[in-house]
Amino acid sequence: MNRTGTRLLSALALLTGLSFSAVKPASADVVLEKQSLYRNILISEDQGLRCMLFGRENGPRQSCIDIDNPQRLVLHYSQGFLLSLAFIEPPEHILVLGLGGGILPKTLRALYPQSWIDVAELDPAVIELAKSQFGFQEDARMRAYAADARVFVKAAIKKGGKYDLILLDAFDQDYIPEHLLTQEFLQEVKSLLPADGLVAANTFSRNKLAPYEAATYQSVFGDIDQLALPSGNRILFATQKPLPSKATLMEHVKVLKPRFAGYGFDAEAMAGSIEKVPEATVKPLTDQFSPSNLLQFQQ
């Protein structure tokens, strides 16, 4: 094949988003590289963990599983997300925005086998790798859709959809989709919640973005709770109705704790760090004012 033909095939492979890298991984720990239309995705294995990373070998870990004990939740933010279940009744309809390795929907499926779970993930290659490398599988009640989260939310609104629990997990330390962190987007998300529904978001606490993010959630939901994690992540919790008191929340966690036993963390100890977010003194982010990526790199 001539050089022009080789270049053409390479370009077509990139556009499909489905080609595996033919280049030997830069590290012995990187077992797979995949170039999608949106990003370079790496799968690494080290000390019994398999992880998904975006962009580069030393980038932040998006998802990890314990190869010998896949049920164990490895990353703090995955553990923190489970505490969402203490804020609401057992959810019948769940929406997860951002798939990663599919750890969260897999866990929720195990906990609530009768629930309906929808997942919106922008990158089809992420969905493919979640299935082939992390054991994520769709079934009659759990579907993954290759779609932008905001587009999916708008479509769900038009269909009259409602979700008892919405988990927003589409951010990472290198990039935040700015259209998913605005007052207008959160108002759209709120319209998908029933009166007793909850939205939880995996975000970050150690930068100048944090107060703007809090102001945005507060402008839509009023009071919000947060769980600051050792990794620098924080989980924000927002509901349609008033948030439960700390004492009530801890009682709910105590009831759930036996169900969380196989996931490798102390739910009561972690829940003890949940606190109200102080009222923000900055203006909320909007579709016209959303410098999220600039703010998150400022301390």
Catalytic residues: 169
Residues found in the chain: 299
Sheet holding 142-146, edge to edge: 142-146, 116-121, 93-97, 165-168, 198-204, 233-239, 225-228, 275-276
Asked if residue 78 lies in contact with residue 48, where contact means CB atoms within 8 angstroms, the answer is no
